Each structure stands twice: as C-alpha cells, then as structure tokens.
Amino acid sequence: MRYLEHVKSAVLVILIALSVLLTFSIWTYTPPYATLEDTPVVDIAIAEKKRTSDVIKPYRMLISYTGASAMKGSLQSSEMDGLMGIMRMWTLNPPQLINNEATTDQLNEMIRDTNQLVFYYPTEIPIQSFRQIIPFSDQAIPDFSFNHMIVHWENGDGDLSIHVKFINTVSQRVFRSDVADVDVAEFLNRVEDMDRRLPVFNEIVRDSLQSLYVSSVQVPLEEYTFGLEEISPEKFKNALFTNPNLVRSNPVGVSSQQYTDDSALMNIDYAPRRISYVHPASETELPGDSATLVTDSIEFVNEHEGWTDDYRLSRINARGQQINFQMHLKGLPVFSDTMATDMTQYWGLDQVYRYIRPYYTLNQSSPFRTTRKQLPSGQYIYDYLISQASVDINLVTDIKPGYYVRRDSSQPILTLEPYWFYQVNETWVRITPELSGGGAIGLE
C-alpha cells in the first residue's frame, strides 16, 4: 500500500509539471505568419482638381461707366477673370436685405443704372458658396442665392466707395454688401480700360419681363477641330467603385459596356462617349441644400481629379439634389445632340446616387485646325427670333453664343462650331444661321 501511494504521488507531480509546461508553451508560442505585403494603392487621378472659383463663373458682363452714352459688354472669360481676380482681394461686409419683393421694372432699373458692372450667372449661386470666392468680414451672413451681381461705385463727399448688390430675379430678393478695404483706383482703371475697348450691348426692353442684353456688332469666333481623345473607362471604374478588383465587366451588344459589383453599376455608352454610374441603395427623395450640394459635388470630382475640361456650374436643383456642370471652350458653353457635354450629379444618402459625364476630353492646347467665323450680332438674332412663328419670344429668357460639337463618323475627329443659342425653360436651343453667303436662317 505504501508503494502504491508513492506511485500516485509521482504521477500527480508529473501531471502538474506537464500542465505547467503546456500552459507556458501556449502563452509563449508564436505561429510562423507569412509576411504580408502592402496592398497596392489604385491610382484614381484622372485629370486635375478645381477650386470653387474655377467652376462658379459669370458668363456675361455689362459696364455702365461714368459719363458713358451706352452700355458696353463682354462674353469673354479673360475680361471677367481679370476683374474677378481683383475682387477676390476684397472683403465684403455682411449683406443686408434691401428689397424682399422687387418688381420686374425695379430689377431692370437696377441693372441699367450708371457707374456699375453687372455680372450674369447661369444659375442661382448660394452665397455660402460664393464666399469661397470673395470673403466676408463676418462668418454670420444671411442664407440666400443670387443670379446677378452688381458692383456699383459712387462719389460721396469726395470719396469713392463701392458696394455690391446680389440680385435674384427668380425670388426677386435683393441684398446689398459694402466693400471694405479696397483699392478703388486700381479697380476703376481696369473698368475704364474695358469701357474704351468693349462693344455696345443693346437693351431689349420687354413688357413685364426681364430685359435682354445682346451685342450690337458681329461676334468673331473660331471654329476648332480636335482629335478625339478618350479617357479609359477603367480609370472611372477605379475611382467610383469601392473595390475595383471585384468589379465585373460585360459587353451590352455592340454599343455599350457594363461594369457591376454587388452595390453599383456603371454603363459606358460608346457613341456619345458617356459614363452613367448609379448606386441604387443611396437613392433618396429628401431635398438637399444648395451650398452643401455645390461643396460636395466639387469635392467629389476633386477626389478622382475628374475635371477633364473647363466645366462650369450651370444648374442647381436642390429639391431633387441635382447639379450640372457644363463643358466650356474658350469661355463659351459646349452643346451637342450626339456627344455628352455636361457633368450631372444626383446626390443621395451621404454619397452620389447617380453620376453622368463624358469620358473624352478636348485637347484644347493643340487643335489641329481653326477657321475664323463671324456670327451675326445678338440684335440680329433677336430680330430673327421675333419673325419666327415657331418661337414664343416671351418665353425666351436669354440669348448667347456657344459651341456645337460634331464627331466625324469615319475618323476620331471632333469639330466645334460657333452658333447662337436661345434659352427657354432652362433648355438651350441652337440657331443655325447660314449667313456666310447671305442666306436664310433656320432652326435645328
């Protein structure tokens, strides 16, 4: 019995020792993990980034200089960019509401006043977005939008002062902001120089409607021919999908290609060179905020450096969370019936719901052919529209020149021709003048 007890004690000691040894081994054991290499970063940079001031720009400028007998004007971006460059150095005092329901006659009177510049914008610009272009002296400013900006100067007690009016011809509200700490002389010297050089713009007065301002002389413009330069859809796939490696690609007939994963879809339409991306789960019917829409949309394109051409803000629909950026060439808008020429975003829940845009670019630095053209005056075009039974002139809200892009069906070539366009209900209609030989004018 005594021998059996010794055996039990020995076995117990061995078991305890084994338990301690196994426990220590578990605590100190390090498995031989394979070395993991860094995940390769996908390059999603497509073109370049833009600032707010690059995409929010006026498209028309009117000058009514001291003592001038007529209103002068310009559609040239270079002229307006020069003045806006000076104004970006200004500081504006907080805007004050001066008219909550201005009549059409009052708005027309404000625009035709003397000693001022008038800038036209293609859509209603949120003031919170505009403050990223010209700063305000106070963070607390009223929330409003405008589509005309008047820079007015006056001589009071021997001192020149400048103030800015922000006019919204849709809501009929007018705000005023005084300019602080500004070099008036530098600004007026630039204005005086422009007033000497720029052509006269005629005011077309219409009963109970906003006046139209059109050039009184012919408009010389170039016709351009470019090589069609495509951007690989693979770059947009890498930019728009969360995990590009999981994206599947399938042809859809001979006219398009489709990219899909478990949450999004992107169509490539070959003929118009257009990309259509949709993320269905983020769709919403909630309205948005205009300023937020502008900020988020610019940032979204900047994230993949997708500003492949001169795109400018052309429309904001906050209720539908939609925003448009129109392609421009030499400061004028580009339109087409066959090619994609604008960038459209629909926003959903915290991200883009739909994104539609071209996947080609204009090689603006090196067109291989240019031809000088002479468009008729804006006054001539207005008189022509009046004569057309198919056009209700009272529905026309603006008239301006632009470019129409055509693609050669037999070779990768784009031709951009200058034309006059008129606007009805936010739609631009091309006017096709055959004036080179004195022929008739027709609409297409």
Q: Are residues 226 and 211 in the same domain?
A: no
- Looking at residue 71, the DSSP 8-state letter turns out to be -
Domain of residue 225 covers: 219-444
Read off the pLDDT of residues 152-211 as tens digits, 9 standing for 90 and up: 998 766 678 899 999 999 999 999 999 987 878 888 889 999 999 999 999 999 999 999
Residue 46 lies in a domain: no
Query: Which residue among 156, 188, 217 closes a domain?
Result: 217
pLDDT at 440: 39
- Region for 244 from its dihedrals, namely left if φ exceeds 0, alpha if ψ lies in -120 to 50, beta otherwise: alpha
CA distance linking residue 272 with residue 2, whole number of Å: 100
Q: Are residues 289 and 152 in the same domain?
A: no
Read off the pLDDT of residues 44-98 as tens digits, 9 standing for 90 and up: 789 999 999 999 999 999 999 876 678 999 999 999 999 999 999 999 999 999 9
Asked if the model's pLDDT at residue 347 lies above 80, the reply is yes
Q: Are residues 212 and 66 in the same domain?
A: yes
61, 142, 154 from 139: Cα distances, Å:
28, 10, 27
Write down the H helix ranges in 273-391. Answer: 290-303, 378-386
CA distance linking residue 185 with residue 192, whole number of Å: 10
Q: What is the mean pLDDT of residues 341-356?
A: 96
Residue 26 lies in a domain: no
Question: Is residue 167 within 8 Å of residue 157, measured between CB atoms?
Answer: no
369 confidence band (pLDDT: 50, 70, 90): confident
pLDDT at 12: 56
Residue 308 lies in a domain: yes
- Sign of the Cα torsion 138, 142, 145, 151 reads negative
Q: Are residues 329 and 236 in the same domain?
A: yes
- Looking at residue 361, the DSSP 8-state letter turns out to be E
Q: Are residues 338 and 433 in the same domain?
A: yes
pTM: 0.87
Query: Which residue among 183, 217, 251 closes a domain?
Result: 217
Question: 199: helix, coil or strand?
Answer: coil
User: Lowest mean pLDDT: which of 10-14, 130-134, 212-216, 267-271?
Assistant: 10-14
CA distance linking residue 343 with residue 333, whole number of Å: 13
Read off the pLDDT of residues 398-438 as tens digits, 9 standing for 90 and up: 999 999 999 988 888 999 999 999 999 989 999 985 533 34
Residue 194 lies in a domain: yes
19 confidence band (pLDDT: 50, 70, 90): low
97, 214, 379 from 218: Cα distances, Å:
39, 11, 9
Residue in 344, 335, 346, 340 with CA at minimum distance from that of residue 268:
340
Strand 201-204 versus strand 352-358 pairing type: unpaired
Q: Are residues 181 and 254 in the same domain?
A: no
Q: Are residues 334 and 344 in the same domain?
A: yes
Residue 23 lies in a domain: no
Question: Is residue 267 within 8 Å of residue 256, measured between CB atoms?
Answer: yes
Q: Are residues 178 and 261 in the same domain?
A: no
pLDDT at 13: 53
Q: Are residues 269 and 377 in the same domain?
A: yes
Q: What is the mean pLDDT of residues 363-389?
A: 90
Question: 378: helix, coil or strand?
Answer: helix
Would you tell me how many other CB atoms lie within 10 Å of the CB of residue 41?
Answer: 6
Would you tell me how many other CB atoms lie within 10 Å of the CB of residue 147?
Answer: 18
The CATH number assigned to the domain holding 362 equals 3.30.310.160
**What is the domain count for the chain?**
2
Asked if the model's pLDDT at residue 21 lies above 70, the reply is no
